[in-house]
Every structure is written in structure tokens, then in C-alpha cells.
Amino acid sequence: MTGAGFTAVESPLDDRRLNVTFLGQVAVFAIGATSAIQVANFTATVLSVVCLLLVPAFLLMKHRGIDLVPLVLGALGWISYMASCLVNGVGPLWPNALAPAAFSLYLIGLTVLTGRVVDRIATVLAGLAAGTVVFFLTQGIELSNTGRFLDLWKYGIAHSVTILILFALTLVRAPLLLHAAVLGVLGLASLGLNFRSHALVCLLASAILFSHRLLGSRIRRGWRFAWVIAFGLLFSYVMPIAAHAGLFGPALQAKQIEQETTHLPILLAGRTEPPMTITAIMERPLLGWGSALKMTPEFYARAEHFAIRMGYPPTFPFEGYWRLPPTADSAMHSLLLGSWAEGGLLAVLLPAFLLMACIGVVWSYPRFGIWAPLVMMVALQGIWDLLYAPWAYNMLAEYACIALLYGAVHFRAQPEGP
């Protein structure tokens, strides 16, 4: 009981409830961390097996229509991929073809595991991050296993380490400005390690949090986001100049000089793959190619002509960037456009929904309370990856979490604030 001159006394029942809640969060984290153990490829880990076992429980839950939309789109995407693989003579176990089905499985299992509660979803994200770090430290991939920390950071653990740091800051109730400052430091560190996309995500997230804390309710959210977008544009102009001058270290300087010597147009984040992907979509818009490995020399020739018309120099070594070795998954570097090019029109619906979900989460980030910095950073990274990255380790489960976050608060009125 409480009263004047008295302090609250916790009952044994309160202690037991607190212990159960704590143990539940630890269990959720541990289950997410089982993603460190790979079963087949990036689509299948031990977490996949756990999610499969939770399917019956999902059927017993109540669901809103919006909660089932990504599940339906995942099913349609998988069917579209299977049809495209059948038509183009691609094996049904092609990893990219299994991605929509794997996403649906993760969504089902994580829905049961989290109950669509934001605290638990954030804990799963931290567990996934821990699993990713363990995987890259113990096994990794060819790009990350060079023995250089720069490659391990860029191709393996940068995003996951950022999640774990923000998760720890949230657990200790660190102030919002500290989250913003840490993201800024991580962004500058990634610039020095030649990981510009991660740097941009961290710096944008830091700018959003600083503007929220310093400007708050005095300026409407739309204007604050306009300021952040202007900051991003300024960054894209100033960063190459500073990088060329060597202000962010020799690794980024060498990369910047290399790109300048190729005379590539400043188009779609400087990627070389968009002309190839767009050509593939234009030639087979309905069913796609099944796999980028099925693209013919004649196709590459047509794509090169299209790239030159877009402004790429005729002397650019397209073949070295576009041709895939037999063990590669995709050189398209866009989950959104790559899904359309390989799986057809229906396969692009899920990435398009996920892009909308990421944008919705970023726009509504104050609704996530203490988890706002973590959730907003994950969604910003999700936007970048959908536009400019291929599937990577644990990315499917992370997008399932983003879909859950989007449904958890976006369609429910809640007071703002972190």
C-alpha cells in the first residue's frame, strides 16, 4: 500500500509476475538467436524450424485483415516464383524463389512468439542481430572471411551490432539524445570503414532523433522530415568531396576515386545493376526469368546498350559486374526490382508492401515509445535494402518483424512521444 510517508511495497505476486516477464523476454531473445545456426541457406535456420512448429498455434489466433496481407502476398510471390521457375527451367529450390515462402513462415512463427507486442518484436530483432553476429564470427561468407575487420563489418555485422547497441541503450533507459549521438558516431565510423549505406542510415536516424528531441512539437513532423531529407541530400553532395580528400580514411578515399575514374552517372545510388534489372523486367514483365542465372549473352548485350543510353560509359566492364558465377544468388542488388525480374509481377507485391511498411514505420516512429530509435533505424535500413540490396542472412526474419511492427501500431491510435 502507499500513502503519505510510506513507500510502495511489492508483493510476492508482483515479484513472480516480474520474473515471468523477464524470463519470457529472455526466451524470446534466445529463440531469435537460434537464427545463428544455418540449416540450408539464408532462407533456412534453426529459427525456421521453430516457426514451423508454431504454425498450429497461429491457426488458433485471432487476426485482423491487415495482419494477413503480408502472408497472402508472400504466398502469391512464392506461387509466381514457382510458375516462373517451371517456365524457365529453374529448380524449385532456387533460394530467391523460396524467399517469399520463407518470409511467410517467419511471419507466422514470430506472430505466435511475440503476440504482436512491440516489446517482444524488438526483443526478437535483438535476438536475430545476436544470431547474425554469431554466424558471421563463426562461419561467415566469402566476402566477410577475408581476415580484415573492414570486410567483416561491411559484409557481415554492422547492422546487427547497431541493433544490439540500440537495444542495450533502450534497456538501460538511455536518453534520446544519447541514442542519436551513438548513431551519429556509428555512422561516421562506417564512413571510415567504407560502408556508406550503413553510414547514411545511421546519420539519417540520428538526424531524425535530434530533430525530434530539439524541435519536438514546435515544428510539425512533416517539416522535420523535410529537414532530414535536405540533410540527406546535403550528405550525398558533401560526402564524395570529403571522401576524395581522404577525410574519412584511405578505404573510402580509394573507393571514391575508383568510382570517379569509371565516370558512372550518379543514378540509383551509383549502382551498376539497374540497367540490367530494368531490361529484364521490360523483356519479361509477367513471369520473369526464374533466376538471373538464366539470362543469356544476347540479353546482356541488349542490357549494355540500354545502360549506355542511360549514360553509362561504353568502356565500362559490365560483364565483370553483371555476370554471375554458378554459386551466386543474384547480382541485381534490389529486392524490389530483382523480385520482379526473376519472379514476375506477382512476386514484386510483397517487396512493395514491405517498402510501404518500412516507410509507415519511419513516419510513425514516435508511436513505438522507448523502442522508437531501434525501430526507426531498422525500418530505414529496410528501405535501403529493398531498393539497393539482395537477400542477406536473417533479412527475411527481420522483414517479418517490420511487417509485425507496421501492423502493431500503424492502424491503432496511440499517443505520440518517445
pLDDT at res. 21: 73
Examine residue 195 and state whether it is found in any structural domain, yes or no: yes
Would you say 95 and 43 are in contact if contact means Cβ atoms under 8 Å apart? yes
pLDDT at res. 337: 93
pLDDT at res. 256: 65
Confidence class of residue 176 from pLDDT cuts 50, 70 and 90?
Answer: very high
Please tell me the distance from the alpha carbon of residue 278 to that of residue 295, in angstroms, as a whole number. 13
Please tell me the distance from the alpha carbon of residue 183 to that of residue 189, in angstroms, as a whole number. 10
Greatest mean pLDDT among 64-78, 201-215, 240-254: 64-78
Average pLDDT, the chain: 85
Tell me the percentage of the chain whose pLDDT exceeds 90.
Answer: 57
Examine residue 13 and state whether it is found in any structural domain, yes or no: no
Residue 188: pLDDT above 60? yes
Examine residue 252 and state whether it is found in any structural domain, yes or no: yes
Residue among 17, 51, 31, 41 at smallest CA distance from 93: 41
Examine residue 56 and state whether it is found in any structural domain, yes or no: yes
pLDDT at res. 413: 47
Residue among 175, 208, 206 at smallest CA distance from 188: 206
The pLDDT tens digits for 292-313 are 888 888 998 999 999 888 878 8
Higher-pLDDT residue of 246, 170: 170
3-state secondary structure the chain: CCECCECCCCCHHHHHHHHHHHHHHHHHHHHHHHHHCECCCCCCEHHHHHHHHCHHHHHHCCCCHHHHHHHHHHHHHHHHHHHHHHHHCCCCCCHHHHHHHHHHHHHHHHHHHHCCCHHHHHHHHHHHHHHHHHHHHHCCCCCCCCCCHHHHHHHHHHHHHHHHHHHHHHHCCCCHHHHHHHHHHHHHHHHHCCCHHHHHHHHHHHHHHHHHHHHHHHCCHHHHHHHHHHHHHHHHHHHHHHHHCCCCCHHHHHHHHHHHHHCCCCCHHHCCCHHHHHHHHHHCCCCCCCCHHHCCHHHHHHHHHHHHHHCCCCCCCHHHHHCCCCCCCCCCCCHHHHHHHHHCCHHHHHHHHHHHHHHHHHHCHHHHHHHHHHHHHHHHHHHHHHHHCCCCCCHHHHHHHHHHHHHHHCCCCCCCCC
pLDDT at res. 415: 40
pLDDT at res. 9: 40
The pLDDT tens digits for 336-384 are 999 999 999 999 999 999 999 999 999 999 999 999 999 999 999 999 9
Confidence class of residue 259 from pLDDT cuts 50, 70 and 90?
Answer: low
Burial per residue of 367-376, b for 16 or more beta-carbon CB atoms within 10 angstroms, e otherwise = bbbbbbbbbb
Please tell me the distance from the alpha carbon of residue 83 to that of residue 77, in angstroms, as a whole number. 10
| Average pLDDT rounded to a whole number, residues 104-110 | 97
Higher-pLDDT residue of 39, 231: 39
Examine residue 250 and state whether it is found in any structural domain, yes or no: yes
pLDDT at res. 192: 87
pLDDT at res. 36: 94
| Average pLDDT rounded to a whole number, residues 114-126 | 95
Confidence class of residue 14 from pLDDT cuts 50, 70 and 90?
Answer: very low
| Average pLDDT rounded to a whole number, residues 152-173 | 96
Examine residue 15 and state whether it is found in any structural domain, yes or no: no
pLDDT at res. 255: 67
Q: Provide the domain count of the chain.
A: 1
The pLDDT tens digits for 19-32 are 567 788 899 999 99
Residue among 125, 87, 90 at smallest CA distance from 106: 125
pLDDT at res. 292: 86
Residue 217: pLDDT above 80? no
Examine residue 286 and state whether it is found in any structural domain, yes or no: yes
| Average pLDDT rounded to a whole number, residues 401-414 | 81
Tell me the percentage of the chain whose pLDDT exceeds 70.
Answer: 83
Examine residue 126 and state whether it is found in any structural domain, yes or no: yes
Reported pTM: 0.88
Would you say 279 and 288 are in contact if contact means Cβ atoms under 8 Å apart? no
Structural domain of 324:
23-409
Please tell me the distance from the alpha carbon of residue 412 to that of residue 239, in angstroms, as a whole number. 39
The pLDDT tens digits for 307-334 are 888 878 888 777 777 776 545 545 678 8
Higher-pLDDT residue of 256, 44: 44
| Average pLDDT rounded to a whole number, residues 49-62 | 95
